[in-house]
Amino acid sequence: MDDEAQAEINPAEATLGAPANLDAILSIPVNVQVVLGSTSMAVAALMKLGRGAVISLDQKVGDPVNIVVNGRVVARGEMVVVDEESSRFGVSLVEIVAPSGGVRAD
């Protein structure tokens, strides 16, 4: 294929076929998790946990939380109250993580 013909190909069409295939890809559900923190403990300590037990996490109050999509950190954000009446909260994105693990410049 010559350079002119190659320049006219839309990358999405070249990779996915017809643009209609993009709609199929965009409708695939993914698992999104907001990770507040983590910790390690021995099984014996885990077995002693009961109602009211407090597990200390590695994150501090005010630290950004990780937004994980299908097991990969894709962003970081701050916890926010979405609706006080229904006691719902959410995450306000503060940075997007580049595929290489760094922060993406937007």
> Domain check: are 54 and 98 in the same one?
yes
> Domain check: are 93 and 50 in the same one?
yes
> Domain check: are 62 and 82 in the same one?
yes
Q: In what order do the strands lie in the sheet with 65-69?
A: 32-35, 65-69, 72-83, 88-96
User: Which residue segment(s) compose the domain that 93 sits in?
Assistant: 31-106
pLDDT in tens, 13-59: 555 455 667 888 889 999 999 999 999 999 999 999 999 999 999 99
> Domain check: are 20 and 46 in the same one?
no
- Which pLDDT belongs to residue 5? 45
Query: Into how many domains does the chain fold?
Result: 2
> Domain check: are 56 and 93 in the same one?
yes
- Identify whether the C-beta of residue 80 lies closer than 8 Å to the C-beta of residue 64: no
Share of the chain above pLDDT 70, in %: 75
Which residue from 49, 43, 102 is spatially nearest to 74, judged by alpha carbons?
A: 102
Structure tokens at 78: 């701050």
pLDDT at 75 over 90: yes
- What's the predicted TM-score (pTM) here? 0.63
In angstroms, the CA 10 to CA 73 distance is 29
- Which pLDDT belongs to residue 86? 87
